[in-house]
Amino acid sequence: MSARRIVEVLTTAQVGQRVAIQGWIRTRRDSKAGLSFLAVHDGSCFEPIQVVAPAELPNYASDVLRITTGCAVTISGEVVASQGKGQTVELRAESIEVVGWVEDPETYPMQPKRHSMEYLREVGHLRPRTNVIGAVTRVRHALAMAVHRFFDERGYFWVHTPIITASDAEGAGQMFRVSTLDLANLPRTAAGEVDFSQDFFGKETRLTVSGQLNVETYCMAMSKVYTFGPTFRAENSNTRRHLAEFWMIEPELAFADLAADAQLAEDFLKYIFGALLDQRKDDLAFFEKFVDPECQKRLSQLVQSKFERIEYTEAIRLLEKATRSFEYPVSWGIDLQSEHERYLTEEVIKGPVAVMNYPKDIKAFYMRMNDDGKTVAAMDVLAPGIGEIIGGSQREERLDMLDARIAAMGLHKEDYGWYRDLRRYGTVPHAGFGMGLERAIQYATGLENIRDVIPFPRAPRQADF
RNA sequence: UCCGAAGUAGCUCAGUGGUAGAGCAGGCGGCUGUUAACCGCCUGGUCGUAGGUUCGAUCCCUACCUUCGGAGCCA
């Protein structure tokens, strides 16, 4: 009998059917009525399956009564209607094989009780076995797959932009160095500087902080493209919202302006969160019950809402006439703080909003200069409960304007040779945005610390597992 | 990096200037178609590290390490 996933047994198996399952023990409860109850999970769904193990099993005393949380098992038996409350069907075991024992149950780090998220981070290799991390894993997968479906259905091509880059001019953010040089014995130039010509790539290289500049090259040929991959920041950020390694989604759309970009962002968010609501009811119900009572409501409201659009200048005006006070004072030209964004989306608009056309001095060099000469075609999508969830812009497609921006920001245009070429050869208006996958998962689940929504968090002083 | 808080049993925590307890987990027994089961007994800790004050420190002081929260940066 080949094994079935537990989700199939719970949802599609008929009473009377004989099936086998394989998984890990959550809990064991014994009844002197001559049976034991085993809760078994295999990751396929939130609910474990209840296995009833009768004392008549030949290895009941020798094996079943020694089973502890964490043991791996193969169990075959008959699907029966449950006599107890809490589940409709259960598996009446005809054979139980313990595939892998827990060698020291007393010190097995996972116990059938609620652990703190901090503790689970310390046992990152075992935390996937918990309810909460299992649920995160399924939610993360569902969102990632929805991202790919969304773009695929609309004719976008997934472009695998490089992880390693020789460009140190990608924009803000400290970068990790990539080198095979012997740190204890660095080659030096005559001037005494490190001689990177002897390094693996013959030049200085680092880990990418964004795939955007690279994906723009494919946008200028494939029209609709996106990146979806790991991104790295060497900032010494010690917060619950930052990672040194995270996954980012960056679509880029040719022959498009800022309005089209904002519409794409709206359609995108509604699609991926709608898919999540549809596919992961079990996990979202868990998050709603134990993590964040608002999470499902927040998602369904976003999916059903019409996103507002307001100008940055209008946003400032709304903030200036707010009755409440802010820690950071508001005036035209400032970058919006988290408290400002939350106020706009939660108390003024009461829904998602795209804030458009920001002052040029607080935005990146590649964003398109508006005719007013003061603002650039940037947009941030703000959502209740989180603030900024997406940031994007129309890109500067005019070479002379781009060069002026590069110069004005103290950058060197010779560092942007291939990027400038895109403006010299068949340039077109184009736009795109970026969204951090982990931020989206936090939004969906209500989990407060970003280190709990990525399998193996990388942060300052944290690279375990 | 800055500000604040915390590090006591496998886990979650309580506690006192005279070297420590509870619940859960684990072991044994009892009971029960059980639902993080329940009841009894037992096992289990050089109280983050290094100094200092003191007759004596887990408790007071200093430094360091780590974690958590906030800020900055941002996704």
A105 pLDDT tier (thresholds 50, 70, 90): confident
Instruction: Measure, in angstroms, how far nucleotide B33 C1' is from residue A77 CA.
Output: 17
A109 pLDDT tier (thresholds 50, 70, 90): confident
Query: What integer pLDDT is reported at residue A84 of this predicted model?
Result: 82
User: What is chain A's mean pLDDT, rounded?
Assistant: 92
Query: What integer pLDDT is reported at residue A83 of this predicted model?
Result: 86
Nearest DNA or RNA nucleotide to A245 (CA to C1'): B75
Which residues, at least 6 apart from A376, have a Cβ–Cβ distance to it below 8 Å? A357, A358, A359, A360, A363, A367, A368, A369, A370, A393, A396
Instruction: Measure, in angstroms, how far nucleotide B27 C1' is from residue A67 CA.
Output: 14
A172 pLDDT tier (thresholds 50, 70, 90): low
CB atoms near residue A391 (< 10 Å): 17
Nearest DNA or RNA nucleotide to A240 (CA to C1'): B69
Q: Does residue A342 have a pLDDT over 90?
A: no
Q: What is the torsional sign of CA A139, A140, A142, A143?
A: positive
Q: Does residue A401 have a pLDDT over 70?
A: yes
Instruction: Measure, in angstroms, how far nucleotide B70 C1' is from residue A243 CA.
Output: 17
Query: What integer pLDDT is reported at residue A103 of this predicted model?
Result: 82
pLDDT tens per residue across span A255-284: 999 999 999 999 999 999 999 999 999 999
Q: Which residue is nearest to nucleotide B75 (CA to C1')?
A: A436
A169 pLDDT tier (thresholds 50, 70, 90): low
Strand partners, A91: A51, A79
Nearest DNA or RNA nucleotide to A81 (CA to C1'): B33
Residue A388 near residue A439, CB atoms below 8 Å: no
Instruction: Measure, in angstroms, how far nucleotide B25 C1' is from residue A107 CA.
Output: 8
Instruction: Measure, in angstroms, how far nucleotide B21 C1' is from residue A70 CA.
Output: 29
Instruction: Measure, in angstroms, how far nucleotide B16 C1' is from residue A186 CA.
Output: 57
What type of residue sits at position A253? L
Q: Tally the C-alpha atoms within 13 A of residue A448's C-alpha that lie toward its C-beta.
A: 7
Instruction: Measure, in angstroms, how far nucleotide B16 C1' is from residue A109 CA.
Output: 30
Strand partners, A100: A72
Query: What integer pLDDT is reported at residue A35 of this predicted model?
Result: 87
Query: What integer pLDDT is reported at residue A231 of this predicted model?
Result: 94
Q: Which tokens in the block code for residue A423? A: 């403006």
Distance between the two ends of chain A, CA-based, in angstroms? 36
Nearest DNA or RNA nucleotide to A108 (CA to C1'): B10
Nearest DNA or RNA nucleotide to A111 (CA to C1'): B25
A150 pLDDT tier (thresholds 50, 70, 90): very high
Query: What integer pLDDT is reported at residue A52 of this predicted model?
Result: 93
Interior angle at CA A168, CA A243 and CA A177, nearest 5: 55
Nearest DNA or RNA nucleotide to A341 (CA to C1'): B74
A95 pLDDT tier (thresholds 50, 70, 90): very high
Residue A188 near residue A310, CB atoms below 8 Å: no
Q: Which tokens in the block code for residue A326? A: 């802010």
Nearest DNA or RNA nucleotide to A69 (CA to C1'): B25
Give the mean pLDDT of A378-388: 89
* pLDDT-wise least confident of A113-127, A160-174, A260-274, A406-420: A160-174
Phi, psi of A298 (to 5 degrees): -60, -45
Instruction: Measure, in angstroms, how far nucleotide B51 C1' is from residue A35 CA.
Output: 59
Of the candidates A64, A420, A135, A390, the one whose C-alpha atom is nearest the C-alpha of residue A287 is A135
Q: Which residue is nearest to nucleotide B30 (CA to C1')?
A: A32
Give the mean pLDDT of A73-97: 91
Instruction: Measure, in angstroms, how far nucleotide B59 C1' is from residue A121 CA.
Output: 30
* pLDDT-wise least confident of A247-251, A325-329, A436-440: A325-329
A427 pLDDT tier (thresholds 50, 70, 90): very high
Which range of A52-56, A183-187, A196-200 scores highest in mean pLDDT? It is: A196-200
Within 7 Å of a protein beta carbon, the nucleotides of strand B are 1-2, 10-13, 24-27, 31-37, 66-75
Q: Which residue is nearest to nucleotide B44 (CA to C1')?
A: A106
Q: What is the torsional sign of CA A297, A303, A305, A309?
A: positive
Nearest DNA or RNA nucleotide to A238 (CA to C1'): B1
Nearest DNA or RNA nucleotide to A28 (CA to C1'): B34
Instruction: Measure, in angstroms, how far nucleotide B43 C1' is from residue A391 CA.
Output: 57
Q: Which residue is nearest to nucleotide B66 (CA to C1')?
A: A461
Q: Which residue is nearest to nucleotide B68 (CA to C1')?
A: A118
Instruction: Measure, in angstroms, how far nucleotide B20 C1' is from residue A109 CA.
Output: 24
pLDDT tens per residue across span A125-138: 999 999 999 999 99
Of the candidates A321, A385, A312, A322, the one whose C-alpha atom is nearest the C-alpha of residue A350 is A385
Q: Which residue is nearest to nucleotide B71 (CA to C1')?
A: A239
Nearest DNA or RNA nucleotide to A436 (CA to C1'): B75
CB atoms near residue A452 (< 10 Å): 22
Nearest DNA or RNA nucleotide to A80 (CA to C1'): B33
Of the candidates A18, A11, A76, A7, the one whose C-alpha atom is nearest the C-alpha of residue A42 is A7
pLDDT tens per residue across span A72-84: 999 999 999 988 8
Q: Does residue A62 have a pLDDT over 60?
A: yes
Instruction: Measure, in angstroms, how far nucleotide B22 C1' is from residue A25 CA.
Output: 28
Instruction: Measure, in angstroms, how far nucleotide B44 C1' is from residue A266 CA.
Output: 57
Instruction: Kindly report the three-state secondary structure assignment for every residue of chain A.
Output: CCEECHHHHHHHCCCCCEEEEEEEEEEEEEECCCEEEEEEECCCCCCCEEEEEECCCCCCCCCHHHCCCCCEEEEEEEEEECCCCCCCEEEEEEEEEEEECCCCCCCCCCCCCCCCHHHHHHCCCCHHHCHHHHHHHHHHHHHHHHHHHHHHHCCCEECCCCCEECCCCCCCCCCCEECCCCCCCCCECCCCCECHHHCCCCCCEEECCCCHHHHHHHHHHHCEEEEEEEEECCCCCCCCCCCCEEEEEEEEEECCCHHHHHHHHHHHHHHHHHHHHHHCHHHHHHHHHHCCCCHHHHHHHHHHCCCEEEEHHHHHHHHHCCCCCCCCCCCCCCCCCHHHHHHHHHHHCCCCEEEEEEEHHHCCCCECECCCCCEEEEEEEEECCCEEEEEEEEECCCHHHHHHHHHHCCCCHHHHHHHHHHHHCCCCCEEEEEEEHHHHHHHHHCCCCHHHCCCCCCECCECCC
pLDDT tens per residue across span A218-252: 999 999 999 999 999 999 999 999 999 999 999 99
Query: What integer pLDDT is reported at residue A409 of this predicted model?
Result: 87
Give the mean pLDDT of A7-12: 93
Instruction: Measure, in angstroms, how far nucleotide B36 C1' is from residue A286 CA.
Output: 15
* pLDDT-wise least confident of A149-153, A160-164, A349-353, A432-436: A349-353
Give the mean pLDDT of A185-191: 93
Query: What integer pLDDT is reported at residue A113 of this predicted model?
Result: 78
